[in-house]
Amino acid sequence: ENVIPGKGFNDKKAWQRFLILFNGPLVNVFLAIILTAFFLSGHGVVNMTSTAVGSIMENLPAQAEGLQAGDLILSVNGESVSNWVEMARSIREAASTGPVTLEIEREGARFKKTISIPFNSTYGAALLGVRPPFVRYGAFTALKNAFSYTVSMSIEMIQGIIRWALRAQDVEVTGPIGIATMAGEAAKQGIWTFISFLALINLNLGLINLFPFPALDGGRLVFILGEIATRKRLPERVENYIHFVGFVLLISLILFITWKDISRIFSL
């Protein structure tokens, strides 16, 4: 290939090469945010960020005690709760020792209810019988929440990879065939499921590509950061050899995972 002198990638300054390499994973993450925002705005999501009641389940304590959609549960046995997960956990723990006292806000008025919540064998836990609300966000709020969701998911993914590396947790790994299979299953479940799947895959690609492994963008970025810090560039032949070894290891891993995916498909 004929390249105009001074116009090739290796002829660029270190910071320019850094931005070029970083932009690939960044676009993946940016696309994940846009897809998530589209999902939150067009489809909606169960709102777990507050303790507002969305609906009441039939034949359970909440219905018998007169709780209503729109009620805001402020505390459980005197302890404040700020989100749905925290509230549900507090109710389950409190119900195991006796009646549960809830402080509730309804249309600006506050009152308390003491409710006996027995163990429900159908659901395998003490169940009050309330569901969180389902909400669709406006464009700006959807974009803001998509950003926070993406940050939270990124942290969870990185923590999961670290736990897997430390053998503290088993992680299911899949390759191109497995991803294609999951994409097909997601598409069968509808456009919104497929969009959320695409967002997750893009986030995975962006984060994994930033890992400091030779042959990945993250590995190349490490070399550029070293060049910027030391003001010395590693000989191109040496760097290419290191990335070649990394590439061989990466392809070997992909082939191994692909074989596992094929074996899994035929064993179904």
Question: pLDDT tens for residues 31-45?
Answer: 999 999 999 999 888
Residue written as tokens 């034949």?
Answer: 59
Q: Which has the closest alpha carbon to 30: 160, 186, 151, 191?
A: 151
pLDDT at 91: 92
As a whole number of Å, the end-to-end CA separation of the chain is 47
Q: How far apart are CA 200 and CA 33, in angstroms?
A: 10
pLDDT at 264: 73
pLDDT at 75: 93
pLDDT at 173: 66
Polymer length of the chain: 268
Q: Crossing angle, helix 217-230 and helix 14-42, to 10 degrees?
A: 140
Instruction: Compute the average pLDDT of residues 94-103.
Output: 90
Superfamily covering domain 55-135: PDZ domain (2.30.42.10)
Helical spans, DSSP H, in the chain: 14-42, 61-64, 84-95, 139-165, 176-188, 191-209, 217-230, 236-267
Residue written as tokens 């507002």?
Answer: 52
Q: Average pLDDT of the chain? A: 87
The pLDDT of residue 177 is above 80: no
pLDDT band for position 199 (50/70/90)? very high
Asked if 117 and 125 touch (Cβ cutoff 8 Å), the reply is no
Asked if 22 and 217 touch (Cβ cutoff 8 Å), the reply is yes
**SS3 for 9?**
helix
Residue written as tokens 């005690």?
Answer: 65
Question: pLDDT tens for residues 253-266?
Answer: 888 878 877 777 77
> pTM score > 0.85 for this model?
no
Asked if 8 and 192 touch (Cβ cutoff 8 Å), the reply is no
Helical spans, DSSP H, in 136-190: 139-165, 176-188
pLDDT at 30: 95
**SS3 for 12?**
coil
Residue written as tokens 């390759």?
Answer: 175
What amino acid occupies position 237?
R
Ranges 82-86, 96-100, 174-178, 225-229: which has the least confidence? 174-178
Q: What is the widest separation between alpha-carbon atoms in the chain?
A: 80
Q: How far apart are CA 72 and CA 62, in angstroms?
A: 13
What amino acid occupies position 235?
P
Q: How far apart are CA 247 and CA 257, in angstroms?
A: 15
Residue written as tokens 């609906």?
Answer: 55
Ranges 3-7, 58-62, 216-220: which has the least confidence? 3-7
Ramachandran assignment for 231, one of left (phi > 0), alpha (psi -120 to 50 degrees), beta (any other): left
pLDDT at 114: 92
pLDDT band for position 156 (50/70/90)? confident
Q: How far apart are CA 48 and CA 154, in angstroms?
A: 19
The pLDDT of residue 169 is above 70: no
Q: Where are the domains of the chain?
A: 9-44+137-267, 55-135
What amino acid occupies position 248?
V
